[in-house]
A and B are shown apart, each in its own frame.
Chain A
Amino acid sequence: MRRRQFPPQSDLLVLLLVLGALVALFGLGTDGFLGKATLGSIANRIPALMLVSTGMTLLMVTGGIDLSVGSVLGLCGAAAGVLMVDDAWGLGPALAASIALGALVGSINGWISVKLRLPSFIVTLGMLEIARGLAFLATHSQTKYIGAAIESVGAPIAGWVVSPAFLIALGIVVLGQLLLSRTVFGRHLVAVGGNVEAAAISGVAVDPPRIWAHALLGGLTGLAAVFNCSRLGSADPNAGVGFELSVIAAVVVGGTSLRGGRGSVLKSLLGVLIVATLEAGLVQMGASEPVKRVVTGCVIVAAVLADTWRRRT
């Protein structure tokens, strides 16, 4: 076993180098990129991605995956929108309802895949369709305009560059990292993902951590949905189409294994920053949509390749 030649921090270093290279490249290539406006707009765009990537990292560490997060983001946002617009709920109760709904959907995903022994890939693929359909039913396929009642969460704090949503998301990333690396629950997540039989033999109850990871991801998706709505001032039942792929890309770029047993919430955050910086920079350089997709795809593959090569040498 020569896998752990480098201290764990060197993973972070590779990611920071990639991120630094991107920032330098776009800084040289465009005029406004290194300004407060761009950095602020990147920071205020990514809270939803940060939250769901945190939850996804915890789940992928256990060897599970959730493909339904994009649809659940749409569904929870739709629910919050309907409650706030049609039923005149305040932001607080609507937020609570959205988180509860997300956690419920996540628990259903987790319970079915763990207790009924179905691959979470398949269960959540089904949920992807179910949640999207429900989002359309809940809104009658109409975008709900919520307006000022929700916008304050996603708008920059007066005098600051960043929004409350970004600060909350940052706090949750830190909590997620502490949960993973400093608690018994976190060690159980890694144990069941590394080798579920060995974990069971050594006395870990292997089902609860996996179900909890699904539920936690669902709850974070519910919170992310409200952040997403607040940035747009409205709830769009189409929100989050393809979001699951951005999340999985960010988590995998951050070095979390698709097979479980290894992962870091902090590195997923760097994955999020890399993906978001790339997106912002390409727009500012005036790249066309097809070019953006090609470049983004190449960077994802290259980042993962760099990570595996570094591990092998």
Chain B
Amino acid sequence: MRVILAAAVLAAALAGAGCKPSATAPASNTQTAASPAAAPAPRPKIALVMKSLANEFFATMAKGAQEHHAAHAADYELVVSGIKNETDLGEQVNLVEQAVAQGAAAIVIAPADSKALVPALRRAQQQGIVIVNIDNRLDADAANKAGLSAAFVGPDNRDAARRVGLAVAQKLKSGDEVAIIEGATSAFNGQQRRAGFEDAMQAAGMKVVAIQSGDWEMDKANTIAANLLSAHPRIKAIVCANDNMAIGAAAAVAAAGRTPQVLVGGFDNIAAIKPLLSAGRVVATADQHADQLAVFGIESALAVLKGAKAGADRATEVDIVTAASATGPQPRP
């Protein structure tokens, strides 16, 4: 397994050296190629602390970071770590402390919790480590109180969910019944997506008849959707806070024999959602460009390390993907 992974990273590095048109890449690549061992200046170590690498979204994010690193190996050293499951806060705090102990110059983190990670990150910052917050935004209040200042690089989940909601609502009539299946109720990005769906449905004049949490899980969302369909026979759409839950909901809609009448919306644009999009069983999802998210975080950290003032917040782009756009070429930010 490890050998295959190493080979894949190597291949990506070679591909990057061969065709990457970026301005900085050629110089650094030739340097690595010519004298990999004799790099004189110590490279700063950047610790990328993720949520669960068992989750496709974060696995893609980590892969994007590794490919970026392979193309810029002379500029920094990358250490990627992740936790076992999304709610294992204690383990993520440990990872932050380990990164400090290993002498990381910067920590780029996708916090598993918006508040619980603040103390550990503040301790790291007090030791001069640059902190960049990606994906899930740290709670502004908690960070202010603790005296932690971290640039946020990530998507506006609420706005993206609003746009998915509107893409779904566009196909409905004003006053139609709609249900929302949200993610874990304790997650900030989950709350934002739910709020965005509600914004959209309110703006489009839809009637939200039920909001239930599927805890990000396909199976749970499937059960909930099946029951919502029988409890609310007039439902016209179910919007879900991630694609796994959308797959579960779409299966429930099909099992109830209501596939063309009840629309499903998702979020994340994972690989498995594509056939459902082209079959019209899911009408819209949002692509947050996971592979780019960590890269932007790393670039922000590198800029600060090179002497830029504390990094500014950066909203990353989100594209709404529908059956029509899924077949065409993907726009990249």
Contacts and interface: CB of A to CB of B under 8 A. Distances in A.
Interface of A: 30-33, 35, 37-38, 41, 44-45, 136-137, 140-145, 147, 151, 154-156, 228, 231-234, 236-241, 279-280, 283-284, 286, 288-290
B27 interface: no
B247 A232 contact: yes
Contacts of A280: 223, 226-227
Interface in B28-52: none
Given A232-B247, A237-B54, A38 B230 contact: yes
B9 interface: no
Given A41-B226, A279-B223, 4 more contacts: A41-B255, A141-B59, A143-B272, A233-B251
A231 B272 contact: no
B144 to A, nearest CB: 29
B255 A154 contact: yes
23 contacts: A37-B233, A41-B230, A41-B252, A44-B255, A141-B55, A142-B56, A142-B271, A142-B272, A143-B243, A143-B247, A143-B272, A145-B272, A145-B273, A145-B274, A232-B247, A234-B218, A238-B54, A238-B55, A238-B217, A239-B218, A283-B223, A289-B185, A290-B185
B308 interface: no
B56 A143 contact: yes
Contacts of A35: 230
Contacts of A31: 231
B128 interface: no
B275 A37 contact: no
Interface of B is mostly: helix
Contact of A231 (B251, B256, B257, B275): B251
B159 interface: no
Interface in B202-230: 210, 212-213, 215, 217-219, 222-224, 226-230
Given A155-B254, A155-B255, A232-B247, A283 B272 contact: no
B276 interface: yes
A140 B56 CA distance: 8
Interface centre among B230, B257, B273 (most CB of A within 10 A): B230
A236 B244 contact: yes
Contacts of B224: 283
B157 to A, nearest CB: 20
B270 interface: yes
Contacts of A45: 222-223, 226
B115 to A, nearest CB: 19
B230 A284 contact: yes
Nearest to B219: A239
Interface centre among A44, A143, A228 (most CB of B within 10 A): A143
A289 B217 CA distance: 13
